Amino acid sequence: MFSSRAARSFSALLFAAILPFTHARSTDNQPAAAVPIVIERFTSEGCSSCPPTDIFVQKLDTYQPIQGAQLIVLSEHVTYWDQQGWKDPNSSAALTERQSSYEGALGQKDSFTPQMIINGDQQVSLENPQHIQDVLEKERATPRIPVRITSVTVDPANRSLLRAHVETDVNSGKHNADVYVALALDHVESQVLRGENGGKHLVHVGVVQQLTKVGKLSKGKIFSDDVQLKLKPGEDPKNLRLVAFVQESGPGKLLGAAMRDPIN
């Protein structure tokens, strides 16, 4: 685990390696054909090794350092740290289960935090920033199934319902796939009172609140359907991002993705 001083020094070295490739954010500055790359980060506010990855994914989310790519950050907070002095307010048993399902696919014996997985099948670590950059550039060059999110609205008659339409191009690959939608908070701040991060003020991006499988994309077919998500009380649609992605079962490789951010 990192001490605070070591974490700051490590982060500084990491950003020195990454930030020369950055340009101003954000999705407004991405080319129309920017290739979506999903970065899942399994984390917990109870884990003292996790804050450096908070900072790192914030930089990826803000500066979008890979030209021609749209980096889509999903922070997935797990539950197994919740008994160590601090219950993460964004932890989810469903996300813990999702991480567990990755371990077999990636050949890991146990779940751990922080863990970063790029496009479903590439595990990366802050200890090797060059590997992170290499994986991101490789993924940028990999063809994707185009995914589109349209008609995103909050139901005027029921402000707790978010509606959207998700569609894809033809799945020309060799495998059937699942279609997911994730609803995530763009920006979250938390004052941790106890546990390994007690006394720290943490900032998170792309904090997943819901992750739902909404259908299947069969070989040689398209997907097109309306989806409906129930918002939590008090959630501000302007602080939400809606992500749709196509993933081989297993879980396996992500074949395509799209994001709407913010939701107006």
Strands 224-230 and 254-260, by their bridges, are unpaired
Tokens of residue 81, six digits: 């740290």
Task: State how many domains the chain has.
Answer: 1
Q: Where are the beta strands (DSSP E) in the chain?
A: 35-43, 69-77, 115-118, 122-124, 147-154, 161-168, 177-191, 201-217, 224-230, 240-248, 254-260
| pLDDT at residue 10, rounded to an integer | 41
For 109, which DSSP code? S
pTM: 0.89
Contact 115, 41 (CB under 8 A): yes
Tokens matching residue 116:
């970063």
Indicate whether 164 belongs to any domain: no
Alpha-carbon span 72 to 60, nearest angstrom:
9
Among candidate residues 72, 131, 91, 99, the one with its CA nearest the CA of residue 259: 72
Beta bridge partners of residue 96, listed in sequence order = none
Quick check: is 227 in a domain? Answer: no
Do 151 and 163 contact (CB within 8 A), yes or no? yes
Read off the tokens for 209.
């609140």
Structural domain for 66, as ranges: 4-144+180-216+236-242+249-258
Q: Residue 104: what pLDDT?
A: 87
Predicted confidence at residue 125, as pLDDT, reads: 95
53 is a domain residue: yes
Residue 190 included in any domain: yes
Q: Distance between CA 122 and CA 131 in Å, rounded?
A: 10
Nearest to residue 241, comparing CAs of 49, 70, 97?
70
Residue 157 placed within a domain: no
Which amino acid would we find at residue 156? P
Task: Assess if residue 67 is contained within a domain.
Answer: yes
Tokens of 89: 């307010």
pLDDT in tens, the chain (264 residues): 434 443 444 445 455 545 544 444 444 445 558 999 999 999 999 999 999 999 999 999 999 999 999 999 999 999 999 999 999 999 999 999 999 999 988 988 899 999 999 999 999 999 999 999 999 999 999 999 999 999 999 999 999 999 999 999 999 988 999 999 999 999 999 999 999 999 999 999 999 999 999 999 999 999 999 999 999 998 999 999 999 999 998 899 999 999 998 776
The C-alpha R_g of the chain, in whole angstroms, comes to: 18
203 assigned to some structural domain: yes
**Assigned domain for 201 exists:** yes
